[in-house]
Structures are given as structure tokens and as C-alpha cells.
């Protein structure tokens, strides 16, 4: 199952691989992009999928609002025996994860396949 949403210069594509939802993000996760992400996450989480992989290879900016949505997803996912993993963040986006120490909670991987194979 695939779905695409484009909002405010950000695009979100989701793909289900068994019990994992891979969300491919692109553009800038500013307020409008973060709102679109919230809507997508609400659908996924309310549908009972709590294993999430964010492919951020094409995200060149993430605001605190975008990070907040990812943390909300992290709390919900881990509270339901799931996980949140990040794949291939651009250097500036990865720097934000490291500066905020979110990389200690959310694993960062090079590829979707590595994130799916992780324990």
C-alpha cells in the first residue's frame, strides 16, 4: 500500500512492509510539512502500526515542530512495543538529531534495509 501527500514544500510517501511503515520524507519539515506528517502518523498509529522507519535522505531542513512529531511517534510506538528509526539523514538534519541527543533514542541507519534488519 502506497500513499503520497505533498504540502508546503514537503512530501511524504508511505509504504507498508509487513508490519513496518516506511515514511519517505522530502523537502523541508517546517510547520506545514510537520502538520502533514502529523496527519500521516495519526493514520498509521491509529491503524495499529507501531514500527516506523523515516527515510530522510531528501529532507534538507527539519524544524522543532517536525522533531516534535517524530518524538510523539516515538513515544506512541515504543509504548506499544514498536520502534522509530531514521534512515540516511542529510548532514544538517543529522546534526540536529545529534545536537538534541535524539540519536540516542532513535536509531540512525544508512539504508532502509539496515533499519528493517536491526534488532
d(CA 53, CA 15): 10
- CATH number assigned to the domain comprising residue 29: 3.30.750.24
Give the total number of structural domains in the chain: 1
pLDDT at residue number 10 = 86
- Full-model pTM: 0.90
Query: For each of the chain's 119 residues, which pLDDT tens digit applies?
Result: 334 444 567 899 999 999 999 999 999 898 888 899 999 999 999 999 999 999 999 999 999 999 999 999 999 999 999 999 999 999 999 999 999 999 899 999 999 999 999 97
Q: Which domain holds residue 55?
A: 2-117
Indicate the Cα dihedral angle 70, 73, 79, 80, nearest 10°.
Answer: -140
Backbone torsions φ then ψ of 118, nearest 5 degrees: -65, 150
Residue 77's Cβ-side half-sphere holds a number of Cα atoms within 13 Å equal to 24
- Lookup: cell for 38: 502529523
Confirm if 11 and 42 have CB atoms less than 8 A apart: no
Amino acid at each position: 500500500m502506497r500513499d503520497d501527500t505533498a504540502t508546503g514544500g514537503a512530501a511524504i510517501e508511505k509504504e507498508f512492509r509487513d508490519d513496518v511503515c516506511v515514511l519517505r520524507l522530502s523537502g523541508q519539515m517546517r510547520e506545514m510539512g510537520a502538520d502533514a506528517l502529523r496527519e500521516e502518523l495519526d493514520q498509521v498509529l491509529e491503524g495499529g502500526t507501531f514500527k516506523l522507519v523515516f527515510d530522510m535522505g531528501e529532507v534538507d531542513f527539519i524544524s522543532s515542530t517536525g522533531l516534535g512529531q517524530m518524538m510523539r511517534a516515538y513515544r506512541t510506538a515504543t509504548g506499544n512495543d514498536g520502534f522509530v528509526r531514521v534512515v540516511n539523514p542529510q548532514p544538517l538534519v543529522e546534526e540536529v538529531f545529534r545536537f538534541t541527543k535524539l540519536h540516542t533514542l532513535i536509531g540512525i541507519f544508512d539504508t532502509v534495509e539496515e533499519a528493517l534488519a536491526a534488532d
